[in-house]
Structure 1
Amino acid sequence: MSIVTREAYAEAFREVTGRPLVKLTPPNGRPDSEIIFEMLALNGVVAGDDHLPRFLDALAGSFAARRRRLAKDGRMMPGARDALKAVARLDGVVQSVLTGTIKSNAVHKLTAFGLDKHVDFEIGGYGEEVYPKATLLQVAQGRAKRKHGAAFDGGNTVMIGDSARDAQAAKIAGVAMIGIASGRSLPAELREAGADVVLPDLSNPSEVVAAVAGLTSPARAPGRSPAGHGSP
């Protein structure tokens, strides 16, 4: 969890509960909605029906207030921008994001590093949606189908992620998976969890393009093939 995110959580917690945040919850690749519930419990707050929506609103506001610090205090995976740009050149590809971060904050993060230009945020899946990641991936496929008028399934969807949790979600959802061994999970862990291809990083765009092209086929009916990404 970055320093900007920690500060945003602390401010949102105080706004919603009226008390300071004492115990932080490790993200471990989980969605914001799950982190919020655990954070409330760890800090002795009995969650009511309104706690989650209020916390999500407060988190969005506190994060937005700090968005100008993201590029300075945050970190972009080497090669990410060039990889997105290269994959976008593939015929009929649409790229989106599948992340535990709430949508507004995900947009701020990607925009801060210039990664938003090749991402269709409308069809993504985000941390305010209380679904397991595999289900969220299928929700995103449904959004893509409604927007682009094509069937999105295991034959034309590939997920790119850097954790065994991402690989497991892709396997459950029945889609191809490209694992990025950036440090969150070892190459062997990614393969064991179900990754079809494992790359050391995103520094070689041609490798990423070849992997996406090799794992997908054209969507049925007029539309596009989605290349889905895991947490930014």
Structure 2
Amino acid sequence: MNRLVLWNIDLTLVDVAIVTRDAYAEAFRVVTGRPLVKLVPPMGRPDSEIVFETLAVNGIVAQDDHLPRFLAALATAFADRRKRLAKEGRAMAGAKDALKAVARLDGVTQTVLTGTIRSNAVHKLQAFGLDRYVDFDLGGYGEEVYPKATLLQVAQGRAKQRLGIPFVPANTVVIGDSTRDVQAARIGGAAMIAVASGRSTAAELRAAGADIVLPDLSNASEVVAAVARLTTPVDRKAG
């Protein structure tokens, strides 16, 4: 395995915004004892950052224990609502076929680079049968309090430790929908396939520095061709 593909989740593979907001509202109530008035829009930010900003815009001064308590409450609230995901959410166009097709590409390992905490990431993909294509142990997640570019490097390190291969810009590619995903790839050390299925336009994604911009994932062959074009397998001896 000598190509690493890291997928963003929300608005790249799935859209479960309704359930996510409801879970955040419940977690906010549990932690603060107050109703949630305003939730900071994700826009590619990790859950850890969203928690701090949401507390601030709702007039809560963050304490040292707020983040771990909030993330634990968020995990519980989301798990309690997981049966709603398939009913009230959706897999993005072509997501399953794209994951399946990329999995057949020579030497590929697929994981996630997401702002979502790990337990919720698993629930999101399981709800639509997408989890079978992903190695969750190698991913980067929202409870790890790092910028997304650093999470990318963390995931590369985990993959190297497991597979014995160095993962560098030449054999690592991120697939995501936001300019923050693009920036993370550029800073962290990976090629970038951007899909204009989220809140960032194709023009914004190109301007941010994406190597390839696709309208969505509906053409699986196009996604595979993009991954193959941007990744060169690294010889195991190089590790």
TM-score (norm 1): 0.92
Instruction: Give 1:83 shift.
Output: 0.4
Give the distance between the partners of 1:20 and 1:163, measured in 2 at CA: 29
Matches within 5 A, 1:56-75: 56-75=71-90
The structure with higher relative contact order (CA 8 Å, sep 6+) is 2
Find 2:122's aligned residue among 73, 89, 107. Answer: 107
Aligned pair count reads 224
Counterpart contact for 2:153–2:189, Cα < 8 Å: no
Tell whether 2:186 aligns with 1:171. Answer: yes
Give the distance between the partners of 1:217 and 1:10, measured in 2 at CA: 44
- Gap change, CA 1:18 and 1:110, over 3 Å in 2: same
Tell whether 2:109 aligns with 1:94. Answer: yes
Counterpart contact for 1:148–1:222, Cα < 8 Å: no
Give the distance between the partners of 2:202 and 2:41, measured in 1 at CA: 23
Identity rate of aligned residues, in percent?
75
Q: What SS does the aligned partner of 2:131 have?
A: coil
- Gap change, CA 1:111 and 1:56, over 3 Å in 2: same
Counterpart contact for 1:151–1:220, Cα < 8 Å: no
Instruction: Give 1:174 shift.
Output: 2.5
Find 2:173's aligned residue among 138, 154, 158. Answer: 158
Look up the match of 1:186: 201
Tell whether 2:38 aligns with 1:26. Answer: no
Give the distance between the partners of 1:183 and 1:6, measured in 2 at CA: 17
Look up the match of 1:85: 100
Cα root mean square deviation, aligned? 1.6
TM-score (norm 2): 0.90
Look up the match of 1:229: none
Unpaired segments of 5 or more residues in structure 1? Answer: 224-232
Unpaired segments of 5 or more residues in structure 2? Answer: 1-15
Q: Which amino acid aligns with 2:45?
A: R
Runs of 4+ aligned residues of structure 1 deviating over 4 Å after TM superposition are: none
